[in-house]
Amino acid sequence: MSLQFRAGFRHLLRHPWNLLLPVLGIALGVAVTVAIDLAIQSSREAFRVSSETVAGRATHQIQGGVTGVADSIPALLLRETGVRALAPVVEGWGSHPSEPDRPLRLLGIDPFSEAPFRPYLAGGPGAEVDGTRLLTERGAAFVSRATADRLGVAENEAFTLLVGGGLVELRLLGVLEPEDEWSRRGLRDLIVVDLSEAQAVLGRGGELDRIDLLLDEAVADSVLERIRAVLPPELRVEPAGSRERTMEEMVRAFDLNLTALSLLGLVFGVFLIYNTMTFSVVRRRRHFGTLRALGVTRGGILKSVLGEAAFLGVAGSVVGVLLGILLGRGLVRLVTRTINDLYFVVSVEGLALPPDVLLRGGLLGIFATLLAALPPAWEATSVSAREALARSTVETRVRALIPVAAGIGVGLLGLGGALILLTERSLGAAFTGLFAIIVGAALVVPILTIVLVGVLRPLLRRTVGILGAMAARGVVTALSRTAPAVAALVIAVSVTVGLGVMIQSFRGSVVQWLDVTLQADLYVSAPGGVSARAEGSLPEGLDELARGLPGVVGVSTYRGAEFDSDYGRTRLVGLDLDPRGEDAFDVLERMGGLSDEGLFERFRAGDGALISEPFAFRHDLSAGDTVRFASARGPAAFPVLAVFRDYGAEMGTVMIGRVAWDRGWDDRRITSLGIFLEPGASEGPIEAGLRSGSGSELLEVRSNQELRQLTLEVFDRTFEVTRVLRLLAFLVAFVGVLSALMALQLERSRELGVLRANGMTPGQTWGLVTAQTGLMGLVSGILALPLGLLMAVIMIHVVNRRSFGWTLEMTVSPMLLAQAVGLALAGALLAGVYPSWRMARTSPAEALRDE
Amino acid sequence: MTRSQPALELVDVEKGYQEGGRRHTVLSELNLRLEPGDFIALLGPSGSGKSTLLNLISGIDGPDRGEIRVAGVDLHGLSERDRTLFRRDHVGFVFQFFNLIPTLTVEENLLLPLELAGRTRDEDRERVRGLLGRVGLEDRAGAWPDRLSGGEQQRVAVARSLAHQPSLVLADEPTGNLDQATGTWVLDLLEELVRGSGTTMVMVTHSENAAARADRIYDLNAGRLELREPRTV
């Protein structure tokens, strides 16, 4: 290492705060982004691996409509088209009683059809088992070696599975041990049973999920044509993997939101590096001047400063990646749970560590560090020996730059605003706009700080005395150091405010929506699966049973199904709506000229659909448009009667009257019931009546309050990741501000030494330091409020809308704002503790020694 | 370099600064010619432009008018980068505030100009050790600058200014930050080393005593350079 670089690195080592804090800051920033990236990639990869393994070599899949695929279809295809390479599949989810939160995929197959598709199941290469043995014993199952070990079950031993709230006994007949790692990973958490066993266990008699096809590419088109000709209209033939792609598409907005949030942490890390490097350069102006006098070129200085930054960046990024892996282990659980609650079931074995994610995180950290160090490095090259020797200050130049920075900041604010206002649907534009606004605001902060400190100075003079006035003056005379710190604190606090208001508003809206939506007194559903969504079906005749119970005045029935339609993954609901439940719809938009009575009259008659707000937003539909589905009896079209508020399903929901459902599909099942009771009727006897009458002890019967509570719990669970990210982002910012303010005060050691030499007591020194950091905290807190509220508006009305199609009512709690200002103030005051303590302990003589 | 090529030549040099709406002339119509091995002193009150003149001679700053030639090279005709490289190879500095690099040891401070010039041969290192011996600090080679007294630091600075064998040494009040005895000692050393190596030196000082060591003394007054008559020294 050259002497010039050695000098730079030794400078870093001599100022451990300057070394440790930015390394920590960048490490935390990188850790958050890496952790989120790993969590997202792990859940994605787990989903992909298991889907692909389960799909095997299928080239196409016949997918079901609302009622799946009738199990008579394979025979029909064989008869009418001669296609033999087809494999019927039934899939469902369960869990082991010892790990109820970990989903296990139950795969029902026809062992005779499997060989070409999933050779590991049918005695093909790498298969240790003979799939046909599944037919010989009731409850027979195969699992992978890893799953068998985890469940603690040996071959020929029985084990229980929790499916739809009930316990099912299975027997492990053989262990799957495919040769390749990909299949091994795909078989994790997979239980293979015979088709009829799966139908029985999942309560799906006569129904398949899909039929896998293996078609020769050369004749695929003509064979597909023949297949389509004989298939019932509601069934679709799609290339294998298209459903998975649709599902991955669904979570993209969710992923993008998490990624954007995680990048905020990195933005704070960048601030931190900028701060540290600026300090380091300002502090070494004479050093650079000497080097220039000795013949070091501007390029040499630039390289040297960027070299130091690269060192910090590499160190921070390496630590960050390692920390990210640790953090990722926790976050992957939260992310997976949210995906399970909101989108689809996925079981994640552990954190995947794709090298590209780790490398990307590391490079991002290094790149961000170098980017942040570029302005101070440039500043260092502009230090001429003449300036350094003349001891002219950098402050004059900074002051001249402040209006320029403010101008650029206003420009960025305008640009960000324009990006948001001029685009309608692009989430990328919304986030870019938001980031432009954040950076723009940071650039405007210095000029606003001058104004605000000018306003506060007389107040401080009167209340704190000369020390107060000095503290205020100190903030504006050292703007090269104070401005980045204040800007970082403003951004950090505003993000806290923005996210806080967003979460609060979202929760407030959900609470309001639940108040409207939950009109029934009791809700009955099939025992819960592994996700928070209602699945399964209720015992036949339960609705009639409920209607006959004393105290019951009305019943709404609900039949929901998720399937692939022309709108992508769609949730269609057939609703037999009791008139008492009409108020449950918070109608946002209705078909012209339709009264409330008219609307529900048409709905009940099956003449129209109600669509949820996210569905309308995603597919650009309004009341009066038409939604079309392929029903079992041919194409069905429903005019959109109204768009209603719904936070229940992000993919959106289409509701049609039960009459329309029955007209389109031969499916009498019911997913859940809403029961209305006489005033004063007790819930207990009705619940007992339902259980005894249906013979099912496993029914989920919840009161209005319980369901409301459960929904809010799920809501809080889905926002847990956001809360963690908010906390982490603030932590990074806090470290940044702490280091900036601390460095600023330590930098003033000499000045404070002069004051101490002139008779200032340690207590007064403490007062001066804390007054200054406190003032900066207060200014930051005040400036953060409007920015935070602006961010909240953007997140609520733009980001949320574009991501999920929801509109939310913005609610701002004064307590949250007060907390934010308090947080800034507390953080800033805390930053003053160490420098004050150090100055109080250092003798003035020591402080006056020239470094 | 031959006698016909001066070590330093200033021709009609002018330099001023803009102060608000007014232009403030610091140096005007400056002419000077130094032969190799010359040692001159520049005297003048604060603000008379002494340091500005040193900055012009070293190429750190450029004149508004006129020519500055060091070893026959017109500095103003060079790019900023080439001026830096020229300074690296041909000019040595001694500052009032020492300006040692605090994060390099004494020996490393001396090696720095050599390394910058790409000269890291064994004989260069040997010469640095020899120089340390000449300034009496061979036993402090591994010490950090902040562990040295002011006089010791300036002795290191003197050695550093000569480490890469420049043709011109510029000393900006080299004793301004030292007590009289230490200052005298440092000046003795500087003079001895400079004269011993045949290097040209321009020394800016406030001290008449220090100036008296020079071959010639120039007074800088109102931006003009005046050669002092020998009898007034």
Residue from B19, B26, B60, B70 to probe the interface with A (highest A Cβ count within 10 Å)? B60
Q: What does DSSP assign to residue A68?
A: B
Looking at the structure, do residues A669 and A625 belong to the same domain, yes or no? yes
Nearest to A163 by CA among A533, A535, A523: A535
CB contact under 8 A, A3 and B104: yes
B99 to A286: CB separation less than 8 angstroms, yes or no: yes
**CA nearest A779: which of A462, A488, A429?**
A488
Indicate which of A294, A296, A297, A851 best probes the interface with B, i.e. most B CBs within 10 Å of its own CB: A294
pLDDT higher for A736 or A669? A669
pLDDT-based confidence at B233, cuts 50/70/90?
A: very low
What per-residue confidence (pLDDT) applies to A758?
A: 67
Which pLDDT tens digit goes with each residue over A217-269? 888 888 889 998 888 888 888 888 776 777 677 677 777 777 877 777 677 77
Task: Break chain B into its structural domains and give their ranges.
Answer: 36-59+78-232
CB A627 within 8 A of CB A609: yes
Whether the CB of B58 is below 8 Å from some CB of chain A: the reply is yes
Query: Token digits for A711?
Result: 């929904």
Looking at the domain assignment, is residue A356 inside a domain? yes
Average pLDDT over residues B135-161: 89
Q: Is the pLDDT of residue A125 over 60?
A: no
B58–A389 CB contact, under 8 Å: no
Q: What is the pLDDT of residue A389?
A: 42
Q: Give the CA diameter of chain B.
A: 55
Q: Assess B233–A contact: CB distance below 8 Å, yes or no.
A: no
Pick the residue from chain A with its C-alpha nearest to B172: A389
Total count of domains within chain A: 4
Residues A511 and A598 grouped into a single domain: no
Tell if the CB–CB gap between B88 and A3 is shorter than 8 Å: no
Q: How far apart are CA A615 and CA A192, in angstroms?
A: 35
**Lowest-confidence region among A11-15, A129-133, A293-297, A467-471:** A129-133
Q: What is the mean pLDDT of chain B?
A: 86
Structure token digits, residue A817: 């704002």
Q: How far apart are CA B109 and CA B126, in angstroms?
A: 14
Question: Per the domain annotation, does A707 fall within a domain?
Answer: no
* Interface membership of B85 toward A (CB under 8 Å): yes
Provide the shortest C-alpha distance from residue A757 to chain B (in Å). Answer: 21
Q: How many Å lie between the alpha carbon of A748 and the closest alpha carbon of chain B?
A: 19
Cβ distance A294 to B60 less than 8 Å, yes or no, reads no
Are residues A623 and A636 in contact, defined by beta-carbon separation less than 8 angstroms?
no
Q: Are residues A177 and A268 in the same domain?
A: no
User: Does the beta-carbon distance from B51 to A290 stay under 8 Å?
Assistant: no
A382 three-class SS: coil
Element (H, E) at A316: helix A298-342
Strands B200-205 and B168-172: parallel
To 5 degrees, how large is the angle CA A635–CA A638–CA A641?
175
Which structural domain range is residue A282 located in? Answer: 1-56+247-391
> Would you call A404 exposed, middle or buried from its count of C-beta atoms within 10 A (0-12, 13-18, 19+)?
exposed
The chain B residue lying nearest A7, using CA atoms, is B103
Same domain, A693 and A787: no
List b or e across A489-510, with b for residues whose CB sees 16 or more CB atoms inside 10 angstroms: bbbbbbbbbbbbbbbbbbbbbb
Q: What is the number of helices (H) and of strands (E) in chain A?
A: 30, 21
Last residue of a domain, one of A213, A239, A265: A239
What is the total residue count of chain A?
Answer: 851
Q: Give the distance from residue A729's alpha carbon to the nearest chain B alpha carbon, in angstroms.
A: 35
**In terms of Cα–Cα distance, which of A557, A582, A561 is closest to A571?**
A561
- Measured in degrees and rounded to the nearest 5, phi and psi for residue A173 equal -95, -25
Query: Given pLDDT bands bounded at 50, 70 and 90, which one contains residue B1?
Result: very low
Structural tokens at position A570: 């769609």
Q: Among A8, A290, A295, whose Cβ lies nearest the Cβ of B99?
A: A290
Shortest CA gap B230–chain A (Å): 32
Report the DSSP beta bridge partners of residue A207: A70
The reported pLDDT for the residue numbered A751 is 72
User: pLDDT at residue B78 above 50?
Assistant: yes
Q: Are strands A158-163 and A69-70 parallel, antiparallel or unpaired?
A: unpaired
| pLDDT value of position B199 | 92
For B180, residues 6+ apart whose C-beta sits below 8 A from its C-beta are: none
Of A247 and A201, which is predicted with more confidence? A201
Residue A530 pLDDT greater than 60, yes or no: no
State the best of A2, A3, A848 to mutate against chain B, taking most chain B CBs within 10 Å: A3
d(CA B138, CA B128): 10
What pairs with residue A656 in β-bridges?
A574, A609
Residue A758 lies in a domain: yes
Alpha helices in chain B (DSSP H): 50-58, 80-90, 106-116, 122-134, 150-163, 180-197, 208-211
Q: Which two tokens stand for residue A259?
A: 């990624």
Q: How many CB atoms lie within 10 A of CB A149?
A: 12
Out of A20-29, A263-272, B34-43, B121-130, least confident range? A263-272
Tell me the range of A152-156, A623-627, B44-48 where mean pLDDT is highest. A623-627
- What SS3 string covers A593-621? CCCHHHHHHHHHCCCCEEEEHHHHHHCCC
| A287/B113 CB distance under 8 A | no
Cα four-point dihedral sign A135, A136, A137, A141? negative
Residue A456, pLDDT > 70, answer yes
In the prediction, which pLDDT does A680 show? 87
Same-domain pairing of A727 and A775: yes
Q: Is B153 on the interface with A (CB under 8 A)?
A: no
Identify all chain A residues contacting B81, using CB atoms and an 8 Å cutoff: 297-299
* Nearest neighbour of B93 by CB, restricted to A14, A293, A850: A293
Q: Is B81 on the interface with A (CB under 8 A)?
A: yes
Out of A217, A239, A261, pick the residue that ends a domain.
Answer: A239
Taking an 8 Å cut-off on Cβ atoms, the answer to whether B51 and A11 are in contact is no
A109, β-bridge pairs:
A89, A194
DSSP collapsed to 3 states, A619-678:
CCCCCCCEEEEEECCEEEEEEEEEEECCCCCCCCEEEEEHHHHHHHCCCCCCCEEEEEEC
Distance from CA of B165 to the nearest CA of A (A): 13
Share of chain A above pLDDT 70, in %: 89
Structure tokens at A728: 């982490």
What CA–CA distance (Å, rounded) separates A766 from A257?
43
Residues in chain B within 8 Å Cβ distance of A290? 93, 95, 99-101
More confident residue, B173 or A44: B173
Say whether pLDDT at A65 is over 90. no
Q: How confident is the model at residue A843 (pLDDT cuts 50, 70, 90)?
A: low
Q: Give me the amino acid identity at A169.
A: E
Interface of A with B (CB under 8 A): 2-4, 6-11, 14, 286-287, 289-300, 384-386, 389-390, 850-851
Is residue A521 a contact partner of residue A703, using CB atoms and an 8 Å limit? yes
pLDDT at B105: 87
- Would you call A295 and B87 a contact, using CB atoms and an 8 Å cutoff? yes
Question: Does A808 lie in the same domain as A737?
Answer: yes
Asked if A153 and A274 sit in the same domain, the reply is no
Is B169 a residue whose pLDDT tops 90?
Answer: yes
- Nearest Cα to Cα of residue A782 among A830, A834, A820, A833: A820
- As a whole-number percent, the residues of chain A with pLDDT over 90 amount to 20
Q: Is this complex's ipTM strictly greater than 0.95?
A: no
Q: Which of A341, A368, A391 is the last residue of a domain?
A: A391
Structure confidence at residue A385 (pLDDT): 53
Q: How far apart are CA B187 and CA B169, in angstroms?
A: 13
Contacts of B115 in chain A (CB under 8 A): 2-4
The answer to whether the CB atoms of A3 and B112 lie below 8 A apart is yes
Task: State whether A61 and A51 are in the same domain.
Answer: no
Same domain assignment for residues A690 and A552: yes
End-to-end CA, chain A = 24
Identity of the residue in A11, A294, A299 whose CB atom sits nearest the CB atom of B113: A294
- Whether A266 and A140 map to the same domain: the answer is no
pLDDT confidence band for A391 (50 / 70 / 90): very low
CB contacts, 8 Å: A14 with chain B: 102-103
Report whether A642 contacts A623 (CB < 8 A).
yes
How far apart are the C-alpha atoms of A346 and A50, rounded to whole Å? 9
pLDDT of A658 higher than 80: yes
Gap between the Cα atoms of A52 and A182, Å rounded: 9
Percent above pLDDT 90 for chain B: 28
Query: Could you tell me which residues come within 8 angstroms of residue A72 by beta carbon, excluding any fewer than 6 positions away?
Result: A206
Q: How confident is the model at residue A322 (pLDDT cuts 50, 70, 90)?
A: very high
Residue A127 has a pLDDT of 52
State the Cα–Cα distance between residues A262 and A328, nearest whole angstrom.
12
Query: Going by DSSP bridges, is the β-strand pair A672-677/A522-525 parallel, antiparallel, or unpaired?
Result: antiparallel
Of B52, B84, B97, the CB nearest to A295: B84
Q: Which of A14, A292, A386 sits opposite B103 (nearest CB)?
A: A14
Q: Do A385 and B91 touch (CB under 8 A)?
A: no
pLDDT of residue A639: 96
Domain B36-59+78-232 class in CATH: alpha beta
Query: Given A3, A8, A14, which is nearest B115 (Cβ)?
Result: A3
CB contact under 8 A, B104 and A2: no
Cβ(A574)–Cβ(A658) below 8 Å: yes
Most B CBs within 10 A among A18, A381, A389, hence the mutation to make, goes to A389
Per the CB < 8 Å rule, is A297 touching B85?
Answer: yes
A297 shares a domain with A190: no
- Dist. CA A329–CA A39, nearest whole Å: 8
The residue written with tokens 């792990």 in the block is: A42
Q: Look at residue A43 and tell me if it is in a domain.
A: yes
* Mutation site, B46, B86, B91, B103, interface A, largest A CB count within 10 A: B103
Scanning every residue of chain A, which has its alpha carbon at the shortest distance from the alpha carbon of B85? A295
Confidence of residue A32 (pLDDT cuts 50, 70, 90): confident
> How confident is the model over A39-52, as pLDDT tens digits?
888 877 777 777 77
Do residues A461 and A468 touch, judged by C-beta distance below 8 A?
Answer: yes
CA–CA dist A774, A785 (Å, integer): 17
Average pLDDT of the segment spanning A286-313:
86
A378 and A255 in a single domain? The answer is yes
Given strand B65-70, what is the order of strands in its sheet? Answer: B22-34, B8-19, B65-70, B73-74
The residue of chain B with its CA nearest to that of A285 is: B99
Higher-pLDDT residue of B42, B222 = B42
Q: How far is B229 from chain A (nearest CA, A)?
A: 31
Supply the DSSP string of A507-530, one letter for each residue.
HHHHHHHHHHH--SSEEEESPP-S
**Which site among B54, B82, B112 would you substitute to test the A interface, given the most A Cβ atoms closer than 10 Å to its Cβ?**
B112
Which carries the bigger pLDDT value, residue B161 or residue A480?
Answer: B161
Cβ contact B55–A386 (<8 Å): yes
Nearby residues of A680 by Cβ (< 8 Å), 6 or more positions away:
none
pLDDT in tens, A542-557: 899 999 999 999 999 9
C-alpha pair distances (Å), B60 with each of A387, A528, A704, B12, B53: 10, 79, 81, 18, 10
User: Is residue A692 over pLDDT 90?
Assistant: no
B37 close to B68: Cβ distance less than 8 angstroms: no
pLDDT at residue A270, as a whole number: 75
Interchain proximity B104–A287, CB inside 8 Å? no
Residue from the list B61, B111, B115 with its beta carbon closest to the beta carbon of A386: B61
User: How far apart, in whole angstroms, are the C-alpha atoms of residue B186 and residue A506?
Assistant: 75
